[in-house]
A and B are shown apart, each in its own frame.
Chain A
């Protein structure tokens, strides 16, 4: 699982975000289109790509994309 692929997956999952515009340090909850619908589409993408369903506390505890990436990675290893 690679960080840049993860970011690309995230960018594709969220409406109004162009691929290549986000970085590991992006605070994704500050994105204009981050809302309950975005949580669903990102959950779907992460489940399809990595076989892990991120839960509400996962989204709450991560601020940046790299933090979300690390949480997903830990969940995969479990």
Chain B
């Protein structure tokens, strides 16, 4: 098996006295699409946010392409907290799409997309604009290039946010409940875009979702979180149709009932 692109080693997270993640080991292979499911408060969002460095890790390590994300080795080979340069270097492999889009409201759609390539990656503005437009075309919003986010529907906003993340060419793309904030009739267009990225993409995906059908369709693997642990982890057919643990059975049953 190839080297995993992401590797969690005994990752633990506390918010003050509250333990959210409990010594989690986890790997993502290059190009692998992994869906995270589980009840709210089970730790799946925190798990993903640690990879994006939006929360501080309490204990354990995360490696991305064999390099520590939160740590660096000192002269003696001991782990120490990483410098901000090191963090940014390793973090550049990761991208994220948020539940609430978080587009930059003061910029047009195209500016939203090319801002980070130009400012952060130092890419040529012409090249970035071309790449940005290609990406907008891919999510079907080329005609909205000069619109402001406030003029878009929720589904369109999320598609722009996806284009914005993709143009950075991340090796791992995190989707944090990308359709949970959308009106039901807008969910489909976003899922379609995510699916097309998954189908063509070399990028690995970490997809936090409550859309079980979608998870089954897109993911190579599903991990079920409960109480800060990964309770079950396997191919979608096993997880959804042949759950082993009581907790997953309960979760799926409750889930089916609310559908």
Q: Is chain B a partner of chain A in the same complex?
A: no
- Listed in ascending order, the chain B residues whose CB lies under 8 Å from chain A are none
